[in-house]
Chains A and B, each alone.
Chain A
Amino acid sequence: MARYATTPSQTVGPYLHIGLPWPDGPFAVAEGTPEGVWIRGVLYDGAGAPVPDGLIETWQADPEGRFDHPDDPRGAVARPGFRAFGRCPTDANGEYGIFTLKPGPVPGPGGTLQAPHIDVSVFARGMLHRTVTRVYFPEEAAANAADPVLSSVPEPERATLVARPAEDGYRFDIRLQGEDETVFFDV
């Protein structure tokens, strides 16, 4: 059990754009990589207005479902040119975009397999703590149906976690509130 109380979260505030964006932030895989896909979307507030002062971060496995991390019991696997982490502020229209590789399936609990997915953190002015969601892929119907996390979400809300196909990749809009509110997780 944890012995030290953690430091509380605070909002990124309205001026996150001076501190957090990196020039190469949106590129979870090197720019120009042929198998790369764009995941683009708009962050909306509860009035349906785009959020221009937000930040999206993504973390995911590589196309083989591996992580370059020592806490993966299968061992760390580095993939040159692939950072697996993306970071993009929302622009004046609430838009973000992450260029990445589509992840492979990842082991889940008890011998299950998780469908390809990307973990997403959402930060913004007006949010005292990040919210977390997941992106799943529309062409993975069978894997999605068996995914232990996605299948725990009530059917009508599941669609908010599945990206839509787009010309150069996928579209994943995020709605903080409202009728089509995105499913968010307590991580």
Chain B
Amino acid sequence: MSTDPTTRPAPPAYARDAEVHPPLDYPGYRSTALRHPKRGLRLLPHLLTEVTGPLLGEDRISENDSDLTRQHDGEPQGQRIIVHGQVRDGDGRPVPHTLVEIWQANAGGRYRHTGDNWPCPLDPNFSGVGRTLTDDQGRYRFTTIRPGAYPWRNHDNAWRPAHIHFSLFGRAFTQRLVTQMYFPGDPLFFQDPMWNSIPDEKARERLVARFDYANTAPEWALAYEWDIVLRGREATVFEDEVDED
């Protein structure tokens, strides 16, 4: 490493974590067959475009976006729940003021989507879409309805375990994450290819929220806590080190 006083730290690079994620080609999830690149991925260095990203703010949020039970005139059907947690990076640093978006099925497992026609009624009082920003400690909180399981046609008698879809930005293009939160003890995990596609069993468990009795709202809502970890940074590199490769 140079002692040249003009050497500036290069922008941060983010730790690569490919082994944590499901493979793009996973025969158990049939739709991956025609939708995974076959040539393999080329390594993209973390340059300026990759270590920056959209820092979206309050203008993306409107009233009741974080309370999915108050988006209509009436109350939705089902078990009211609070889902909360902290967004951190792999170094343990909270990720403050970052957009968290969720979407989910209603209590019966039906999405308000034209493509979802499984015979379970829509709920006129539930859209199943939420947004919030994390606070300055990286904390988020939604009030919603516990989603139901739903069938799909991937394999014989296939059912998705109950889940909430989550989308996160972090602060860099490299940190972008779309994932799903599950509920503890779901009996449907064993046959779910989304769950089984994650190679490491411990990594799967990180998608399961913790039942959080301490934070239930008495006579109102049960609570689940789910922390999310986005990619952390590599150790600081200096520009002259980068030059060498």
Provide 14 A-B residue pairs closer than 8 Å at the C-beta atoms, listed in order of the A residue.
A8-B21, A8-B203, A9-B179, A85-B53, A85-B56, A107-B48, A109-B10, A117-B49, A128-B29, A152-B42, A185-B44, A186-B18, A186-B42, A186-B44
Q: How far is the CB of B207 from chain A (nearest CB, A)?
A: 6
Structural contact, B36 and A8, CB atoms closer than 8 A: no
Structural contact, B34 and A2, CB atoms closer than 8 A: no
Instruction: Give bound CA distance, A14 to B234, whole Å.
Output: 34
Structural contact, A45 and B35, CB atoms closer than 8 A: yes
Contact of A5 among B20, B46, B51 (CB under 8 A): B20
In the complex, chain A residues whose CB is within 8 Å of the CB of B22: 8-10, 128-129
Contact of B34 among A53, A72, A177 (CB under 8 A): A177
In addition to A46-B38, A107-B47, 16 A-B residue pairs with Cβ atoms within 8 Å of each other are A1-B232, A4-B91, A8-B21, A14-B113, A45-B34, A46-B34, A73-B8, A117-B49, A121-B176, A125-B35, A126-B31, A127-B24, A127-B35, A128-B23, A128-B26, A184-B42
Chain B interface SS verdict (over half): loop
Instruction: Give bound CA distance, A79 to B54, whole Å.
Output: 13
Interface positions of B (Cβ within 8 A of A): 8-12, 15-18, 20-24, 26, 29, 31-39, 41-56, 60, 88-92, 101-103, 105, 111-113, 115-116, 127-129, 165, 167, 171-174, 176-180, 194, 197-198, 202-204, 206-207, 228-235, 239, 242-243, 245
Structural contact, A7 and B228, CB atoms closer than 8 A: yes
In the complex, chain A residues whose CB is within 8 Å of the CB of B56: 85
A163 contacts partner chain B, Cβ-Cβ < 8 Å? no
In the complex, chain A residues whose CB is within 8 Å of the CB of B228: 7
Residue in B closest to A45 when the chains form the complex, CB atoms: B34
Structural contact, B115 and A15, CB atoms closer than 8 A: yes
Structural contact, B34 and A185, CB atoms closer than 8 A: no
In the complex, chain B residues whose CB is within 8 Å of the CB of A22: 60
Contact of B24 among A84, A129, A134 (CB under 8 A): A129
A119 contacts partner chain B, Cβ-Cβ < 8 Å? yes
In the complex, chain A residues whose CB is within 8 Å of the CB of B60: 22
Contact of A6 among B90, B103, B113, B173 (CB under 8 A): B90
Contact of A18 among B35, B39, B128, B180 (CB under 8 A): B128
- Ranked 4 nearest A-B pairs via Cβ: A19-B103, A126-B31, A2-B90, A2-B232
A68 contacts partner chain B, Cβ-Cβ < 8 Å? yes
Instruction: Give bound CA distance, A187 to B45, whole Å.
Output: 7
Structural contact, A185 and B41, CB atoms closer than 8 A: yes
Q: How far is the CB of B48 from chain A (nearest CB, A)?
A: 5
Structural contact, B116 and A15, CB atoms closer than 8 A: yes
Which residues from 46 to 90 on chain A have a C-beta closer than 8 Å to any C-beta of chain B? 46-47, 49, 51, 53, 57, 59-61, 67-69, 71-73, 83-85
Structural contact, A60 and B91, CB atoms closer than 8 A: no
Q: How far is the CB of A61 from chain B (nearest CB, A)?
A: 7
Structural contact, A131 and B37, CB atoms closer than 8 A: yes
Given contacts A114-B47, A185-B42, contact A10 B180 (CB under 8 A): yes
In the complex, chain B residues whose CB is within 8 Å of the CB of A187: 44, 46, 50, 173-174
Structural contact, B55 and A125, CB atoms closer than 8 A: no
In the complex, chain A residues whose CB is within 8 Å of the CB of B29: 11, 126, 128
